[in-house]
Amino acid sequence: MKILVTGGAGFIGANFVYYELEHHHEDEIVCLDNLTYAGNLETLKEAFDNPKFRFVKGDIADREFVFDLFEKEKFDIVVNFAAESHVDRSIEDPEIFVKTNVMGTTTLLDAAKKYGVKRYHQVSTDEVYGDLPLDRTDLFFTEETPIHTSSPYSSAKAAADLFVLAYHRTYGLPVTISRCSNNYGPYHFPEKLIPLIISRALNDETIPVYGTGENVRDWLYVEDHCSAIDLIIRNGRVGEVYNIGGHNERTNLEVVKTILRALGKPETLITFVTDRKGHDLRYAIDPTKIETELGWKPKYTFDTGIPVTIDWYLNHREWWENIINGEYQNYYEKMYGNR
Ligand code: NAD
Ligand code: TYD
């Protein structure tokens, strides 16, 4: 089979490329990515050695380019990871989120429809469900939870999901959607919480915690997200949404303290800063559907995934130092300078 992976030079897309190359030697993988600030060819360095892998630079919202690519390549499966993915950036500048996350998705859907793709998979997020109250730990997001977004990021992701479902209902396009909780692991861009904590703590720099640090996220090791998507594209039912999560809820403060402890760094590095606008309180996934229907089980818990992730950052200093020593410095100053 020939699989198009969009956004494969980013965090989860790259991990998925490696997962597929390792587990499905017979399949061909084409990565389409326009290498925004979040895309990094260094991340795909080892994939380039594999003859089953190819990289194409391009924008998923560029209709002519995308249609030409689909016509030429005749993909069997499309997995769309490409997106603007950071909530804080969406608060500063929402428009690119509409262009990439919504119009990029509809462009891919049109191409998938025209060129008879056998499966279009949309990588979505649990953030489309909004948030849960902190004091109701009995509540979880199921696939039936209404869409109720908070940020420009989650709104654009939700809009894309609705288009994906509409293309199934209206045109019979064979689609699936996955909605995963927060990921962490190798190649995670250091603007996001966990790699930000690790990289800053290793440099003995302050760790900015928004508000009181009581917000809760449900953390999943990235390989477990990849194995779930792999099952869905091969065995999932067309037209269905699958939630992905492993019941690893932690407050942000717990996450920071766990990592500082593991690195032997003092809690005095923690600095409370002004809260994020519209900050979602709690995310928590009910993964019953994917577990019972597809037999998915995560390999890692938070307690086993965090040490593996820390080791990866310790052994790949050059990868993240190249990022934080570049344009990222301006970003950090802009977002945190006066916070
Ligand atoms: P990321 O920001 O690390 O990577 C995004 C990739 O998409 C980058 O390589 C970037 O260059 C590429 N890209 C952006 N705009 C593009 C365009 N117009 N055309 C082609 N390529 C483009 O993101 P990530 O964290 O790997 O997330 C991947 C997907 O998973 C996103 O759709 C995101 O919404 C979803 N998701 C992420 C998480 C998480 O915790 N990170 C959780 C659930 C779902
Ligand atoms: P993030 O990694 O941006 O993921 P998301 O907003 O998509 O859940 O943030 C995770 C949590 O950490 C979120 O509650 C915001 C918080 N956070 C901080 O407290 N400080 C930071 O510097 C960052 C980036 C996030």
CB atoms < 10 A from the CB of 43, how many?
24
Give the per-residue pLDDT at 222: 99
Which residues does ligand 1 sit against, CB inside 6 Å?
6-7, 9-13, 33-36, 38-39, 59-61, 81-83, 85, 100, 104, 123, 125, 157, 180, 182-183, 189
What confidence score (pLDDT) does residue 328 get?
87
Residues 128, 137: Cα–Cα separation, whole Å: 19
For residue 85, the ligand 1 atom closest to its alpha carbon is 2
In 3D, which of 178, 23, 4, 160 has the Cα closest to residue 83? Answer: 160
pLDDT for 148 equals: 98
pTM: 0.98
Distance between alpha carbon 131 and the CA centroid of its chain, in Å?
18
pLDDT at 85: 98
Catalytic option among 153, 167, 187, 221 = 153
- DSSP letter string over 101-150? IIIIHHHHHHHHHHTT-SEEEEEEEGGGG--B-TT-TT--B-TTSPP---
Is the Cα torsion angle 179, 184, 190, 195 positive or negative in sign? Answer: positive
| Gap between the Cα atoms of 71 and 286, Å rounded | 39
Closest residue by Cα to atom 5, ligand 2, is 87
Catalytic, 129? Answer: no
Please give the pLDDT value at position 339. 86
Which residues make Cβ contacts (< 8 Å) with residue 151, sequence separation at least 6? 87, 90, 91, 127, 278, 280
Q: Ligand 1 center to residue 36 CA distance, Å?
A: 10
What pLDDT score does 338 carry?
85
Atom of ligand 1 nearest to the CA of 37: 11
- Residue with the two structure tokens 């869409």: 147
Report residues of the chain scoring pLDDT below 50.
Answer: none
Distance 250 CA to ligand 2 centre (A): 12
Sorted by sequence, the CB contacts under 8 Å of residue 301 that are 6+ apart come out as: 246, 248
- 3.30.930.10, 3.50.50.60, 3.40.50.720, 3.30.465.10: CATH of 2-336: 3.40.50.720
Angle between helices 252-263 and 302-315 (to 10 degrees): 50
Residue of 127, 157, 193, 271 with the most ligand 2 atoms within 8 Å of its CB, for mutation: 193
At residue 305, the 3 state secondary structure works out as: helix
Q: Which atom belonging to ligand 1 lies closest to the Cα atom of 9?
A: 9
Active-site entry in 33, 84, 126, 223: 126
Which candidate, 250, 254, 183, places its Cα nearest to that of 217? 250
